[in-house]
Amino acid sequence: MSTTPAGLQRQLNALQLFCEQRQLSVNLAKTKVVTFGSRAKCQTFTFNGNEVERVQSYKYLGFEFHATKSLAHGVSKLVSAANKAMHAMNRRCAFLHISDPKQRCNLFDNLVLPILSYASEVWAVDEGVGKAAEQLHRQFLKHVLCVRGNTANLIVLAEFGRYPLCFHWWQQILRYHNRINTLSDDERLLKCAFVEGLHDPTHRFWSHDVLLPREHRSCLVCGSDRAEDEHHFVFDCPAYCSIRDRFTAIFWGPAPSLSSFFTLHDPRVIAKLLHECFAHRSMLLEDLLAVPQH
């Protein structure tokens, strides 16, 4: 993996030298190049004098990555496979006359959920990516209850005493984080990459939002040492002063607690405030990341 075409070609050359020294061979039929980004230029890469095929998507360790699409593309492939497994399970249950809801949920958790949760440590941090998997889960529960598809999702989940799949995925994410933290060898590549990502100020690493110690969650927008928590975002961050000035009616007097702030004021006004602040934050972070790093 490389961030530049020249860097990738050097890696291919190094791999070729390594294979020659050890009399190894590389199967070019299974070797592909994926250039991520919609603006990526066409580039030819060679290995041992032969061109390496460039493709739009590639399945790596069971998860399919696409050159221009988000991780939702790979999740859609998992959902498709899980859907087939779910229908096969339902047919088998019908053949064996298994109708007990608890038993069928256990079967779902053992036969279908592992497919829906594959590599969730990587993609489930983005809440929107797993929507299709959540929908398949609710579809199964409604099928077991024999209710309409437009039945309220919360009622269906409450009837089974189950939670949305995102709770299971976050358990997987936290376990993965703990496994990396407990690795005894600090020189291992996995742990080195994890630690480097945590301390990269130009890249929002996947664990920054929930796993980084509070003293290191400094606000990137205002550049202060203050942690970018909810209270700082709503009341204190100077980057949003001009926006707060347009909402003086809800900021009159000393800053209350967050709970009273959201309770005492019109939720529509608060929603408009937060929407403008988040949009301004995204613009500022884009400008920050666009600055060349030396």
User: Per-residue pLDDT tens for 55-113?
Assistant: 888 888 888 888 888 888 999 999 999 999 999 999 999 999 999 999 999 999 999 99
Cα 90 to Cα 98: distance, rounded to the nearest angstrom: 9
Asked if 72 and 45 count as a contact pair (C-beta separation under 8 A), the reply is no
| pTM more than 0.75 | no
Q: Which residue has the tokens 């961030």?
A: 3
Asked if 102 and 54 count as a contact pair (C-beta separation under 8 A), the reply is no
Cα 207 to Cα 213: distance, rounded to the nearest angstrom: 10
pLDDT 10s digits, 179-209: 887 877 666 777 777 777 666 555 555 555 5
Q: Which two tokens stand for residue 181?
A: 């933290």
% residues pLDDT > 90 (the chain)? 35
